[in-house]
């Protein structure tokens, strides 16, 4: 049994980590921190965790305060905070899975897209980019993992097979995606209020959303040449779920939808968390589960490849994938403790 701490456990990804890990046979959460809610009971914020977290209180976070015997830290802090603590933390625990954006990009790319210098650039090379379906073997060789962003997980898994097989051009990629509102986290802003987010949709972050860099980095690695993505995020009135509709230019004229489906099925054969489907499914097919559904098409009329992917942004897009990565670096079976059935209706 590996002892773990969840750092930043009062946000939505933190709560989802606690829910998933409570069913995990090999990882035991022995400490939960949350600076802004220190002293509160976990079940006051999330009564849904009654029975799993009874009597557990959020603690203040400090590296020194991590209890002895903890080997694994899940870090779910707001952007920019984990790089401040990572030096000490990586000395104190054997493994870190960072769910934020701090350790996903090379220093130069980080500076370019985040508009600030990285504060712990030397540590960046100690983190694997944790998208297991594409980089499983590399991840196993690292001590620490940078867990991918929610949008990148869906978009990269949607486009990777076509790029890896050379079926589409690596430039001219468009990712048009929509997230449920939990993607904004638990921080307070008028746009996240029910009354403003309900019964409405909106585009945001036009042209320069930071997740673009992550998509380009991973898709370039898959394609073996520089990929270029235009990413347009939207928000829809649902708590969970991401749907990404991706467009690409074919690399050859011989494509068909059937051929694409075959290529995708072949690419993801045996993957426990990716399902290639013949027809698009609703996002809640994966609600609460670590599953991504993908369906590709070729439109001969306009000469366009189109791929639709759906996931639960808090599970495969965050906490579930973090556990998947933890399983990998701990040498456990990759599926340990991970839910795969969605909740419908």
Site for a second copy in 248-287 (CB under 8 A): 275, 277, 280-287
Q: How many residues bind a second copy (CB under 8 A)?
A: 84
CA dihedral 236, 242, 245, 248 (to 10 degrees): 140
- Chosen residue from 289, 294, 323, 338 binding a second copy by CB under 8 A: 289
Angle at 283 between CA 278 and CA 284, to 5 degrees: 110
Of residues 85 and 339, the one with the C-beta less far from a second copy = 339
Length of the chain: 345
Strand-strand pairing, 127-129 and 144-146: parallel
C-beta closer to a second copy: residue 156 or 306: 306
How far apart CA 15 and CA 259 sit, in angstroms, is: 41
Kindly state the smallest distance separating residue 36's Cβ from a second copy, in Å: 10
Which region among 129-137, 153-161, 218-226, 236-244 touches a second copy (by CB under 8 A)? 236-244
| Site for a second copy contains 207 (CB under 8 A) | yes
Span of 65-73, 101-109, 117-125, 188-196 interacting with a second copy by CB under 8 A:
188-196
Q: Out of 99, 150, 219, 315, pick the active-site residue.
A: 150
Encoded tokens for 336: 């340990």
The yes or no reply on residue 82 touching a second copy (CB under 8 A) is: no
Within residues 35-54, the interface with a second copy by CB under 8 A covers 45-52
| Distances from the Cα of 304 to the Cα of 222, 245, 280, 296, 333, angstroms | 20, 12, 17, 11, 38
Q: According to CB under 8 A, which residues from 166 to 185 bind a second copy?
A: 171-172, 174, 176, 178, 180-182, 184
Q: Pick from 100, 130, 317, 342 the residue near a second copy by CB under 8 A.
A: 342
Among this protein's residues, is 150 annotated catalytic?
Answer: yes
Half-sphere exposure of 318 (CA within 13 A, CB side): 31
| Residue 327 interacting with a second copy (CB under 8 A) | no
H or E element at residue 195 = helix 194-197
Query: From residue 73, how far is each of 4, 6, 17, 238, 295 by CA, in Å?
Result: 6, 6, 11, 30, 35
Token pair belonging to 239:
């708590």
Active-site annotation, residues: 150
């Amino acid at each position: 049994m590996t002892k773990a701490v969840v750092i930043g456990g009062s946000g939505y990804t933190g709560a989802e980590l606690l829910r998933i890990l409570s069913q995990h046979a090999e990882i035991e959460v022995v400490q939960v921190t949350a600076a802004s809610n220190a002293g509160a009971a976990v079940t006051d914020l999330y009564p849904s965790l009654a029975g799993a977290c009874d009597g557990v209180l959020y603690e203040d976070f400090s590296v020194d305060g991590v209890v002895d015997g903890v080997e694994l830290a899940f870090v779910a802090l707001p952007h920019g905070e984990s790089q401040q603590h990572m030096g000490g933390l990586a000395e104190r625990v054997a493994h870190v899975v960072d769910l934020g954006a701090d350790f996903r990009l090379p220093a130069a790319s980080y500076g370019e897209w985040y508009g600030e210098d990285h504060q712990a650039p030397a540590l960046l090379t100690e983190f694997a980019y944790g998208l297991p379906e594409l980089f499983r073997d590399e991840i196993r060789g690292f001590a620490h993992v940078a867990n991918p962003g929610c949008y990148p997980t869906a978009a990269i898994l949607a486009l990777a097979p076509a790029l890896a097989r050379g079926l589409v051009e690596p430039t001219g990629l468009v990712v048009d995606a929509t997230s449920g509102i939990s993607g904004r986290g638990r921080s307070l802003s008028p746009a996240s209020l029910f009354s403003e987010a309900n019964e409405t949709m909106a585009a945001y972050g036009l042209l320069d959303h930071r997740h673009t860099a992550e998509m380009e980095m991973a898709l370039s690695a898959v394609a073996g040449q520089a990929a270029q993505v235009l990413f347009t995020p939207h928000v829809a009135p649902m708590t969970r779920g991401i749907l990404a509709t991706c467009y690409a230019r074919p690399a050859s004229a011989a494509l068909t939808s059937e051929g694409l489906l075959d290529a995708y099925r072949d690419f993801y054969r045996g993957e426990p968390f990716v399902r290639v489907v013949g027809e698009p499914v609703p996002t809640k097919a994966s609600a609460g589960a670590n599953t991504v559904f993908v369906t590709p098409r070729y439109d001969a009329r306009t000469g366009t490849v189109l791929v639709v992917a759906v996931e639960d942004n808090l599970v495969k897009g965050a906490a579930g994938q973090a556990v998947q990565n933890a399983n990998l670096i701990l040498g456990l079976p990759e599926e340990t403790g991970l839910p795969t059935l969605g909740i419908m209706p």
